[in-house]
Structure 1
Amino acid sequence: MPNSNLPFAQRLDNVETSAIRELFKLLGKPGIISFAGGFPDSAMFDVTGIAAAANKALTEEPGSALQYGATEGYEPLRKQLAAFMAQKGVQNVAPEQLIVTTGSQQALDLIGKTLIDPGSKVIVEGPTFLATIQCFRLYGADLVSAPIDADGVQVDELEELIKQHKPKFIYLIPTFGNPSGGLLSLERRKRVLELAVKYQTLVVEDDPYGDLYFNAAPPPSLLALSHEVPGSRDWLVHCGSLSKVLSPGLRVGWMVAPAELLARAVMCKQFSDAHTSTFAQATAAQYLAGGHMPATLARVRKVYGARAKTMCDALRSELGDAIDFVTPQGGLFVWARLTGANGKTKDGATFARQAIEKGVAFVPGAPFYCANPDLSTLRLSFATADEDRIREGVGRLAQAL
C-alpha cells in the first residue's frame, strides 16, 4: 500500500502535475497525430556535427571534458556563448558575466531560489510558459498576470501592475513566446527597459526561441537593446538555451545577470548539481567554435517556417471562422482561440477530448494562465509533424469540432 503519511514539504501544495504531461498519457493510441509537444523535431538535429564536436572534445580535451568542472561553467563554452550573443547585437558581455545552466529551465529555478520568498509578487504574461508558473509557485510566488496581444505584453497595463504590486521581478518571453508565439515590438521592448529603470524592477527575459525566425529577424533582445537605455542592464536577467536550436539532450543553457545575483545563483547551483555536464559543455563549445550553427539555423528556420505556413493555411481552410489566431513569425507554436462560430465548440478542454477521439492531440490553453484563464484558447505545435501529417491532423481537428 502507498504510504500516505510521508512528511512532504508544504510548498508542494502550491503546484499541480503538468496538464501537458497528463495529456501525454493519452497519446498511446496508435496513429495519433500530435500537435501537443513543445519540443523540436529530432530529425532536425545535426547528428553528424554534434558527433564530430563530441569526438573533438574527447580527442583534444579529454581531461576537461570528463572531469568535474567549475560551477559557473566550462570556460571555452562561456567564451563561445558570449561570442554567439555578440553576433546578435549583445554588446559587452564578458564570459564571466554569464553562467552555464542545465537548460534555461535551471536558470528559472535558480531565479526562483534566489529571489522568491513566500508571498513575493511576480508578474508574468498571460499566457506564459507553464513550467515557469509551476516553478515560481513552488517557491511561494504570488503570480500576477499581465495581458498580452500579438505585439507582446501590453506595456501600459504592465506599468499599472508594477505600480500596484511592486513585484520582485517581471518574467517575459519577448520573442515567439511559449505558448503565445507573440513577438514584443521594438517600441515596447524599449518601454519595458525604461520601466525597469523607472521602477527599479528586475526584468527576466527568457529567450529560447529567438533564433527560430522564419523570414525577417525579430527585434533585438532586451539584452541587446539594454545599451540604449542607460541603467537598464542593472535590472535585467537574460536566459538563453541551445535546446530548441541544437539539442535538448545536451541540456545547455545560460544566464546573464547582475553580478550580485549571478554570485548567489552560482552558490545555489553548486548545491543542486555542482555543474552542468562538462562533456555536454565541451561538445557545445566545439560545435560553436567549428562554425556549424549558421547552417543549422538556416535549415531549421526553413523547415519550421514551411510547417507553420502549412498549419496556418490548413486551419483557415478547414476550420474557417470557428478559430482565430495570429500567424507566427517564428518559434514552434500557433496560439489559437475558438470563436464558437456556427455553434461549434468554444471550450478548449472539451475540444481537446474530442480531438483525441479523432486521433489528433493539442494542448488546451487554460493551464498557461496563472489567473483568469481564457478557456477558449489552445496551443498547436507544428514542429514535429511533416507537412502532410499537419494537413491530415488539421483535417481531423475539423472533424472533431
Structure 2
Amino acid sequence: MLNITQTRIPKGVIDLGVGHPGPELLPLDELHQAALHRFSRGDPSFLQYGAEPGDGYFRTELARFLSRHDPFELEPDSLFITNGVSQALDLICTVFTQPGQVVFVEEPTYFLSLGIFRDHRLEPVAIPTDQEGLNIEALEAALKRYRPALLYTIPSFQNPTATTLSPARRKRLVELSQEHDFLIVADEVYQLLHYGPPPPPSLGRFASSGSVLSLGSFSKILAPGLRLGWIQAAPARLQALTQSGLVASGGGLNPFTSALVRSALELGLQEAHLNRLRETYRSRLEAVLGALSLHRLKPRYTPEGGYFVWLELDRALNTQVLLEQALKAGVRFQPGPKFSSRGGFPHALRLCFAYYDVPDLIEGVQRLAAILPAP
C-alpha cells in the first residue's frame, strides 16, 4: 500500500512517541500568505539555482530574526542554509570526518542521529549526561582515551531528557574543543521553544572560535515539511561546506522554500507563529506533568522547553517489553534503549507532548499508568 503520510498511527492508539507537531499547528494560512507575498514581487530569481551558502536576502532576514532571540549579533555570512538539520548533520559528517573516526554523543541522545553516524561508518562513544546536560568531567576523562572528530550535543531542552547545558559547561566545552581539536556540532532546534525563562544563549555565540557548528531548523518553529534549516559557524568553516561536491553540483540548498520563509520572516508571520507554539506547548506540557503527578509518576528532569518528557521507571522493568502491553492498552511511547548508542536505559521511556491536545495527552498518560506496577 502506498504510504501517503509519514504519521501512521493505529486507530484507537494515542501515540506519545510521535515527535512532531499536530496537524492543527501546521501554519497553512500563514505560508499561503507568505507565498502570495513572494510571488507578487515579480522576481523569479528564487526559481533559479541558488548561491552556495544560501540566498543572501534570506540569510540577512534570518540573522535579524535569530539576533532578536539571542543576546548577540549574528552576521549573515556566518549562516549556511540546509535542507533541515538531518541533512546538515550528514553534510558535516561528509566534509569533516573520515570512516572509522570516533564521534562523541550524549547518553542518551537523539536516536536518529546515530543512524547518520552509522551511514558514515563513524564510531559513537557515549558521554553521560546529568541534570545540567553533558557531564564535562566524564568528557575530560574520555578525551584521555579518544581523539574524536566531533562531539554531537543537544544543549537546550535535550532530546530525549529535556535537560539544558549550563552556561559554565558550555564555556568549558568550547575550551576543550579548542584544546583537543574537535568540532562541536550543536543541535539547537529547541532553543526558541522555551515555556518559562529562556535557556542560556545558544552555542552559536561561540561560532567565531572555529570549533562550533550550531544547527537550527524551521521544522520545530514553523513546519517540518519545509525541510529548511541552517548551520551557524565561522565563515572559514562554512567555506568547506560550499566547496563540497553536493553543493558544487546543485547550488544553494532549498532556494525556493527559503524565499517563502523569507516572506514569513519579513511579514512577522514566523514570530507570531512561534508565540502561538510557545503558548500551546506550555499548556500541553503542564497537562502531561499534571497527569503524571496524579498517577505518582515523576519525570527524571522537569522540562522547561522542547517537546519531550523522560521517565525512568523501576529498573526491573523493560520498556521494550512494556511497549507491547502499552499498544494493547491504546498508547505508545519511545523505549529508552533507542536513545542509547550502547543499548542502555532499558527502564526508561520518552513521551512527546507536541502532537496531541490536552484531553488526549491526559488520556494517554492514564492508559500508560494503568499498565505500570503501582509505585
TM-score, normalised on structure 1? Answer: 0.86
- The counterpart of 2:349, out of the listed 368, 374, 378, is 378
The answer to whether the aligner puts 1:282 opposite 2:259 as a matched pair is: yes
- Normalised by the length of structure 2, the TM-score is 0.92
> Is there any run of 5+ residues in structure 1 with no aligned partner, and where?
1-20
Structure 2 residue aligned with 1:41: 22
Which range moved further: 209-218 or 264-273? 264-273
Q: Does 1:327 align with 2:302?
A: yes
Distance verdict in 2 for CA 1:204–1:359, change over 3 Å: same
Structure 2 residue identity aligned to 1:259? P
Asked whether the equivalents of residues 103 and 252 of structure 1 are also in contact (C-alpha less than 8 Å), the reply is yes
Identity of matched residues, %: 34
Residue identity in the other structure for 1:276: L
How far apart are 1:89 and its partner, in Å?
A: 3.0
Matches within 5 A, 1:114-193: 114-193=95-174
CA distance in 1, matches of 2:329, 2:343: 29
Which deviates the most, 258-267 or 139-148? 258-267
Deviations 1:183-215 (A, max 9, x none): 111221122122222323211111101111001
Q: CA deviation at 1:125?
A: 0.3
Larger CA deviation: 331-340 vs 203-212: 331-340
Q: Tell me if structure 2 keeps the 8 A contact 1:204–1:239.
A: yes
In 1, the alpha carbon distance for the partners of 2:293 and 2:300 equals 9
Aligned residue runs from structure 1 range 225-374, under 5 A:
226=206, 233-266=209-242, 267-270=244-247, 274-318=251-295, 320=296, 324-339=299-314, 346-374=317-345
Is the Cα contact below 8 Å between 1:116 and 1:140 reproduced in 2? no
Q: Distance in 1 between matches of 2:20 and 2:52?
A: 27
Structure 2, unpaired ranges of 5+: 1-5
Deviations 1:57-103 (A, max 9, x none): 11114412322222321221111111122223364542222210001
**In the TM superposition, what whole-angstrom CA distance separates every residue of 1:212-252 from its partner, at most 9, and x where no partner exists?**
1001111111122x28xxxx621111111111011111111
SS of the aligned residue for 1:147 comes to strand
* 2:179 equivalent in structure 1: 198
- Assess if the C-alpha contact under 8 Å between 1:33 and 1:360 holds in 2: yes
Contact map agreement 2:52 2:248 (CA 8 A) in 1 = no
Separation in 2, partners of 1:164, 1:119: 15
SS in 1 for 2:306: coil
Asked if the contact 1:120–1:141 (Cα under 8 Å) also holds between the matched residues in 2, the reply is yes
Distance in structure 2 (CA, Å) of the matches to 1:398 and 1:242: 34
Q: Is residue 55 of structure 2 the alignment partner of residue 74 of structure 1?
A: yes
> Is this contact kept in 2: 1:324–1:338, CA < 8 A?
no
Q: Specify the alignment match of 1:56 in structure 2.
A: 37
Check conservation: 2:105, 2:152, Cα contact below 8 A: yes
Check the 8 A contact 1:101/1:107 in 2, yes or no: yes
Amino acid at match of 1:312: L
1:171 positional shift: 0.8
**Distance between the aligned counterparts of 1:369 and 1:273, measured in 2?**
35
Two-structure CA RMSD over aligned residues (Å): 2.0
Which residue of structure 1 aligns with residue 3 of structure 2? none
Q: Quick check: 2:265–2:271 contact (8 Å CA) kept in 1?
A: no
What is the CA–CA distance in structure 2 between the aligned matches of 1:202 and 1:330, rounded to whole Å?
26
What do the CA deviations read for 1:88-138 (whole angstroms, capped 9, x no partner)?
336454222221000111110011101221210110101111121110121
Amino acid at match of 2:52: T
Q: Distance in 2 between matches of 1:67 and 1:271?
A: 15
Give how far 1:271 is off: 5.8
Equivalences, count: 366
- Equivalent residues of 1:269, 1:275 under 8 A apart: no
Q: Following TM superposition, where does structure 1 have runs of at least 4 consecutive aligned residues deviating by more than 6 angstroms?
A: none
Q: Which among 364, 368, 371 is matched to residue 397 of structure 1?
A: 368
Q: Distance in 1 between matches of 2:219 and 2:326?
A: 29
